[in-house]
Structure 1
Amino acid sequence: MSKQLSAYLNRDLSWIEFNRRVLQEAQDSTNPLLERAKFLAIVTSNLDEFMSVRVAGIHEQIRAGLTKMDFTGYSPSGLWKRLQKRTKDIVHDQYRTYRDIVKCMNKEGIFIRNMADLNSTQQKLVEDYFYDIVFPVLTPMAVDQSRPFPHVHTKELYLAVSLRLENQVNQDEPLFAIIQVPSILPRFVTIPGRGNSKKQEFILLEDLLKSYIHTLFNGYTPFAVSTFRLTRNADLTLDEEGAEDLLEEIEKELRRRKWGVAVRLEIEHDIEPFALEMLKDELEINDGLFMIDGPLDLSFLMKFSNSIPGRDQLRNEKFEPEYAKEFEDADNIMSVIAQRDVLLYHPYESFEPVNEFVWQAAQDPEVLAIKMTMYRVNGHSSLVKALEYAAAEGKQVTVVVELKARFDEERNIAWAKQLEKAGCHVVYGLVGLKIHAKILLVVRREQHGLKRYVHVGTGNYNENTAKTYTDIGLMTSNDTIGTDASALFNEVTGYSVPRNWEAFAVAPSGMKQKLIRLIDREIENAHAGKEAKIIAKMNSLSNQEMINKLYEASIAGVKIELIIRGVCCLKPEVPGLSENIKVISIVDRYLEHSRIVYFFNDGAEEVYLSSADWMTRNLEKRVELLCPVFDNELKNTLIVLLNMSLGDNTKARQLKMTGQYEAVNREHEVPFRSQYVAQRVDKWKGTQYPVT
């Protein structure tokens, strides 16, 4: 199928459009200025991961000589060319936006200076900082016949220096050296103010180094200095089947990651030609060159925006999550969820009840066992400390630590060793599968026998991201869910064949099949002339089989509304194929991360929470969880939340069949921003009708 006739959008090109929506938030003048700068930093961080994983993978396919087209109609080489153009376009727009934001900062009295802009007093203070703090850390590395080109670390900032001997103007070929800009030091240096001025002034570390570069090369003249930054392939290639010790194998692979193939080289746009050729030759890169007109690696803007004192008027209003009202008057979390199910919606509601749940279980003499999955956990985790305490108290504590969580491998290895040392049973996941399900089980001895308490979530057990990601957590003592939870841990930690689940659907053995059956039921109802409707909220949709099933449902007359933050390979609104499908994406202050699926079911509505996006990796290569919400009040609350997202006419963008996103056009409607409404927990929790 040609690209022009393809029924699908390409996953990687769709991701570029997602990052463009993030960039649009940096360009949106209605956002506070320092928040706009943070969105620019997120664009950079997103591109870094995209280049080091997705683009690197396509690069490897080309190196291996693969020419087969994917189901969206792209060969590796064709996609590579398109991605290079699209990413360069977005980087160009990113730096144009950076310059606009810098101008706005200047108007507010915030300046990122060059050395030439400083007065003599400031220059002296900055010079002292260089000699006292920076100079002792620097290591210039010459490149010549006796000193080969040094290893360049991925995503670190370097200076490329072209030199000649002093007083030797007609030297045949320049000399060359590189210097790593020390990442252990702050990227930006605060400059003392000018007299009584209220201006806040800063200089970037690399610009400071350039000003004093001559101090590192006695007897030589540096005549050109430019920054550069390399991105390497960061994907792990594990031989899980042949590994005797998975933890040891991952540790080896992490060391190899530092030597991954170069996939992108960012360089200053006015780099000296000899230095450019040296870098291209030594790093063996030609196609992935990005000429940057501005400071490389704008991710520094995140810390920069957070560190400027005062300036609250240039930031979002501070927001404190509410403590769930269901637990306000209770001494014990389990005593509440023994009586009723409770739904937590982060970050609008605090993550603290989850921490308290585990701590109370750890201290309760009647609790016999605690089991949980761990995918991405923050440093200094309260949950980890609670698990260690529980193990010390003699409880059976089992933690399934996913060592293969990308870019969190080292942290998870450290957690695994720490938990084992504390006496916990640690399971390192399964061969060939990542364990991405988010579930926590507490087994307690009570008057009438053992009782199970369960927390099922759409996001990680991470206190930090629970403040910035939108995620749902269900706390329940439902017997059916508890039985399935025990069976799930038995399947992961021991030898158990996939079971006939009573409540759950679990990938890779049955979740996709369950979702297809639920969609088929809506199709049957549509064929029977009944109302049929599906609403699904997730991060990404790229599995071809699921897309085809949604197309089939659309053709049958099922109304489908999708809220997909990131990648979407489905083409909506195509006549005769997907005209009953609407797709929106919301990019706002918080990262939309919750996965919720709704089926009308002829009026007997069903709602599910899930850890899984509808991607092939989630449905076929991971242990994922789909959990029904049985409580009618909570079910209604989730429907309200879905309707809130669908009603967003401020931050929502609607996907067109071209693959482009457009602002939702509702000129005559009252502005409705779903994330701002969600901050008013009383507006949606326990309500009976959609919030408008």
Structure 2
Amino acid sequence: MSEEEKNNIHSSPSAAYLNRDLSWIEFNRRVLEEAQDPNNPLLERAKFLGIVSSNLDEFISVRVAGIQDQIRAGYTKKDFTGYTPSGLHKRLYKRVGKIVTDQYRAFRDISRSLNKKGIILVDYEDLTQAQETAVEQYYRDIIFPVLTPMAVDQSRPFPLVHSLFIYLAVVLTKKHKDHDEFFFAILQIPSNLPRCIPLPHRANSKRRQFVYIEDVIRAHIGTLFSGYHPVAVNEFRLTRNSDLSIDEEGAEDLLEEIEKELRKRRRGVPVRLEVQKGIHPYALEQLLAEFEVEHFVYEIDGPLDLGFLRQFAGGLKGHSDLNYPPIEPVYPAEFEETEDFFEVLRERDVLVYHPYESFESFIDFITQASEDEQVMAIKMTLYRVSGNSPLITALARAAGSGKQVTVVVELKARFDEERNIAWARKLEQSGCHVVYGLVGLKTHAKITLIVRQEGNELRRYVHIGTGNYNENTAKIYTDISMFTAHYEIGLDASELFNQITGYSANYDWNSFFVAPVSLSNSLKKLIQRESEHAANGRPARIIAKMNSLSNQQVIDDLYEADQAGVSIDLIVRGVCCLRPGVPGLSERITVRSIVDRFLEHSRIYYFENGGNPEVYLSSADWMTRNLTRRVELMCPVRDKTAREQVVQILEMSLQDNQKSSFLLPSGNYERPNDEKAPFRSQFAAMNVESWKYTQALPSDPMHS
């Protein structure tokens, strides 16, 4: 960083912060780098490229859509990073365009490499006679019956175009007519058929060839428009504003209100238009006139929507050499000693690190609770649930056996609303008490409480996680969960559910920090306490691992701690608005991001506390929405052995010199260039024995 840039930071308050949305673009570029990295297995590179596309879809449909709403409303105020909505919109348009160009350059490189490995995406005109015959049969039998051509003329207005689906724009002229009058129609590519159609191949051959479904339809477009000559057939894809606007205060039934808003989402304001490179001018004119997208119009040099690569690459069999070796999650050894979870937890807490340790342990925990006659009640929060979750079955069974089962289902979990509505209805039908959370707040905390009759007393067993109760994402996200029977944690868990489901006055939490009530102020006090320790010559250090850091107050508190002498290591996967390494402002702060095989998702917070360290697990990132608009939870790790295990996990992240990137004061990221032995934290974590069972530390007697 130049002296001029340093002076600007100190003279302009907004220059001390990085913009959230521009920081997100940098995160998606780090994902793209994994797709570009020739050292990664080839099909894994293809999956990363699909993730880049899916990430962009969500970013455009929510964040860019929100900025465009502000521009339409005439909002001109700068945010705390110094950007007006219009200024930011221009920067994002250019940054997104650059990443799309690089994305398709990577796609062409990956495609060439796949060809060499015998996985070939064939142009339709290159099909052999036998392949063309087979594809024509497939078109007649499977594709043609589900196609619906939709003409656009004076009597037939432009049909509804759904967000993020691929369509064909068809320009036609009448056959046997001398004049060049154009006719226009659109056609949706069926999303419930394979994007890449497998072609016939010789038996025992490892060579696999595929053709895009849109190319097949284009080649047979004449079957849909008899009497007309197709002049051009080009793909396009529209992105609409997908954010929900729900009046929770005025909604008599929140579930019905969300269902109504989901229907509106289909007609959200157009935000982005992607068109095939070389699209016919008349087709482009029709699309622009209908959708009125002024910016975020991109000509794509390749197949639209590379998100299909995740499913395509994941579905290819017989190419294990092109994928990461499969990981077999280890069942936590603590629970293998006995089949009775409750017996184990009466003795000690158990920490589980996903995906290296199995999520099956939590499913078994709930299953045992549902079948245990001594269990009186089960209470649980559900934010994102998998398609066929065994948890739902276990909860329904528990309710059917007479247990009090309460499930807080977050209906507003973005893009999972419809699935959660379906689960809520199923749980209600099975006899569970289903609560939709608090008005104006998303319930994002991950917690389960089991109340069990043991002799003459009730004992509480609690599970707390940094990630969702979803067995599918638990295989691809790194998250930490903790089982405990700690008395004070149990008391707080009961109170938290009481506050969510009923009316409850202010409560003095024993262990929990809860948003939006106390978490923000508690974080401030914890950070300030480190400053006081540093000022008095005591050990002072903060290690914080999260997905995003964008709350201005937290950033300012970290800057003050830095200036007080606190050493601060931040492990922030995605957005980071803090500018590290600036003399006099943040010179003791490092920020690194790890992007690797699994999505880093755990939230862990460590405070040195003058030599008496405290460690917390949390559902909350340090973002304004988490601290003010969500029910979030931060829980201390009381058990000494579990605490040491969490510290080991943090240390592994800090040692990573293969998949970590360091944030520079400029806002750019760079890979470390050191001479230390290569260390890849996710690969190291796969050896569970090395970080979990080598400490041999006694547990604290804190279960009374």
TM-score (norm 1): 0.98
Change (3 A) 1:467 1:198: closer
- Name the structure 1 match of 2:691: 684
One of 97, 118, 134 as aligned partner of 1:88: 97
Write out per-residue CA displacement over residues 444-491 of structure 1, whole angstroms, 9 at most, x where no aligned residue.
000240000000000000000000000000000000000000000001
Write out per-residue CA displacement over residues 550-599 of structure 1, whole angstroms, 9 at most, x where no aligned residue.
00000111000000000000000011000000000000000000000000
Distance 2:524 2:673 in 1: 32
- Name the structure 1 match of 2:122: 113
Aligned residues: 688
Q: Given that residues 491 and 498 in structure 1 are in contact (C-alpha distance below 8 angstroms), is that contact kept between their aligned partners in structure 2?
A: no
Task: Say if 2:427 is the partner of 1:400.
Answer: no
Write out per-residue CA displacement over residues 11-39 of structure 1, whole angstroms, 9 at most, x where no aligned residue.
00000000000000000011000000000
Q: Given that residues 238 and 272 in structure 2 are in contact (C-alpha distance below 8 angstroms), is that contact kept between their aligned partners in structure 1?
A: yes
Distance 1:292 1:76 in 2: 26
Write out per-residue CA displacement over residues 120-170 of structure 1, whole angstroms, 9 at most, x where no aligned residue.
111101110001110111011011111111000000000000000113353
- Name the structure 1 match of 2:505: 497
Write out per-residue CA displacement over residues 385-416 of structure 1, whole angstroms, 9 at most, x where no aligned residue.
11000000000000000111101111111111
- Name the structure 1 match of 2:148: 139
Write out per-residue CA displacement over residues 505-549 of structure 1, whole angstroms, 9 at most, x where no aligned residue.
000010011111111110001111222100000000000000000
Q: Given that residues 333 and 353 in structure 1 are in contact (C-alpha distance below 8 angstroms), is that contact kept between their aligned partners in structure 2?
A: no
Q: Given that residues 449 and 494 in structure 2 are in contact (C-alpha distance below 8 angstroms), is that contact kept between their aligned partners in structure 1?
A: yes
Distance 1:302 1:4 in 2: 42
What is the SS of the residue equivalent to 2:347? coil
Distance 2:689 2:511 in 1: 30
Q: Given that residues 640 and 689 in structure 1 are in contact (C-alpha distance below 8 angstroms), is that contact kept between their aligned partners in structure 2?
A: no
Distance 1:123 1:256 in 2: 42
- Name the structure 2 match of 1:52: 61
Task: Say if 2:159 is the partner of 1:150.
Answer: yes
- Name the structure 2 match of 1:559: 567
One of 212, 220, 227 as aligned partner of 2:228: 220
Distance 2:587 2:343 in 1: 49
- Name the structure 2 match of 1:672: 679
Q: Given that residues 44 and 298 in structure 1 are in contact (C-alpha distance below 8 angstroms), is that contact kept between their aligned partners in structure 2?
A: yes
Task: Say if 2:487 is the partner of 1:515.
Answer: no
Distance 2:665 2:228 in 1: 60
The one-letter code matched in structure 1 to 2:235 is T
Write out per-residue CA displacement over residues 589-616 of structure 1, whole angstroms, 9 at most, x where no aligned residue.
0000000000001110100000000000
Mapping 1:200-349, distance limit 5 Å? 200-349=208-357
Q: Given that residues 346 and 470 in structure 1 are in contact (C-alpha distance below 8 angstroms), is that contact kept between their aligned partners in structure 2?
A: yes
Distance 1:197 1:349 in 2: 37
- Name the structure 2 match of 1:487: 495
The one-letter code matched in structure 1 to 2:102 is D
Q: Given that residues 349 and 484 in structure 2 are in contact (C-alpha distance below 8 angstroms), is that contact kept between their aligned partners in structure 1?
A: yes
One of 154, 172, 185 as aligned partner of 1:163: 172
- Name the structure 1 match of 2:700: none
- Name the structure 2 match of 1:40: 49
One of 61, 78, 93 as aligned partner of 1:69: 78
Shift of 1:194: 5.8
- Name the structure 2 match of 1:20: 29
One of 588, 593, 597 as aligned partner of 2:601: 593
What is the SS of the residue equivalent to 1:97? helix
Write out per-residue CA displacement over residues 36-87 of structure 1, whole angstroms, 9 at most, x where no aligned residue.
0000000000000000000000000001110000000000000000000000
Distance 1:497 1:409 in 2: 30
Shift of 1:118: 1.0
Change (3 A) 1:195 1:312: closer
Shift of 1:687: 3.4
Change (3 A) 1:196 1:455: closer
Shift of 1:686: 3.3
- Name the structure 1 match of 2:477: 469
The one-letter code matched in structure 2 to 1:683 is S
Distance 2:585 2:177 in 1: 72
Q: Given that residues 330 and 358 in structure 2 are in contact (C-alpha distance below 8 angstroms), is that contact kept between their aligned partners in structure 1?
A: yes
- Name the structure 1 match of 2:359: 351
Task: Say if 2:389 is the partner of 1:381.
Answer: yes
What is the SS of the residue equivalent to 1:155? coil
Q: Given that residues 498 and 509 in structure 1 are in contact (C-alpha distance below 8 angstroms), is that contact kept between their aligned partners in structure 2?
A: no
What is the SS of the residue equivalent to 1:623? strand
Distance 1:154 1:476 in 2: 44
One of 79, 82, 87 as aligned partner of 2:88: 79
Q: Given that residues 384 and 469 in structure 2 are in contact (C-alpha distance below 8 angstroms), is that contact kept between their aligned partners in structure 1?
A: yes
Runs of 4+ in 1 over 3 A off after TM superposition: 1-5, 194-198, 686-690
- Name the structure 2 match of 1:631: 639
One of 185, 188, 193 as aligned partner of 1:185: 193
What is the SS of the residue equivalent to 1:6? helix
Distance 1:626 1:598 in 2: 12
Distance 1:622 1:497 in 2: 18
What is the SS of the residue equivalent to 1:338? helix
What is the SS of the residue equivalent to 1:184? coil
Shift of 1:437: 0.3
Write out per-residue CA displacement over residues 231-258 of structure 1, whole angstroms, 9 at most, x where no aligned residue.
0000001111111111111111111111
Shift of 1:665: 1.6
Shift of 1:335: 1.2
Distance 1:369 1:28 in 2: 50
Distance 1:548 1:45 in 2: 33
Change (3 A) 1:429 1:169: farther
Distance 1:417 1:49 in 2: 27
Task: Say if 2:435 is the partner of 1:427.
Answer: yes
- Give the unaligned 5+ runs of structure 2: 1-8, 698-704
Distance 1:400 1:410 in 2: 16
Q: Given that residues 543 and 568 in structure 2 are in contact (C-alpha distance below 8 angstroms), is that contact kept between their aligned partners in structure 1?
A: yes
Distance 1:110 1:682 in 2: 38
Distance 2:387 2:117 in 1: 35
Distance 1:439 1:198 in 2: 47
Q: Given that residues 444 and 632 in structure 2 are in contact (C-alpha distance below 8 angstroms), is that contact kept between their aligned partners in structure 1?
A: yes
Change (3 A) 1:686 1:601: farther
Distance 2:696 2:289 in 1: 64
Q: Given that residues 433 and 623 in structure 1 are in contact (C-alpha distance below 8 angstroms), is that contact kept between their aligned partners in structure 2?
A: yes
What is the SS of the residue equivalent to 2:481? strand
Shift of 1:197: 5.5
Distance 1:490 1:631 in 2: 26
Distance 2:205 2:338 in 1: 53
Distance 1:148 1:75 in 2: 37
Q: Given that residues 367 and 443 in structure 1 are in contact (C-alpha distance below 8 angstroms), is that contact kept between their aligned partners in structure 2?
A: yes
- Name the structure 2 match of 1:575: 583
Give the share of equivalent positions with the same residue, in percent: 61
- Name the structure 1 match of 2:535: 527
Write out per-residue CA displacement over residues 356-391 of structure 1, whole angstroms, 9 at most, x where no aligned residue.
111111111111000000000101111111100000
Distance 1:4 1:477 in 2: 47
What is the SS of the residue equivalent to 1:362? helix
Q: Given that residues 3 and 73 in structure 1 are in contact (C-alpha distance below 8 angstroms), is that contact kept between their aligned partners in structure 2?
A: no
Shift of 1:355: 0.6
Shift of 1:3: 7.9
Structure 1 residues 283-292 or 369-378, which shifts more?
A: 283-292
The one-letter code matched in structure 1 to 2:200 is P
- Give the unaligned 5+ runs of structure 1: none
What is the SS of the residue equivalent to 2:16? coil
Shift of 1:498: 2.9
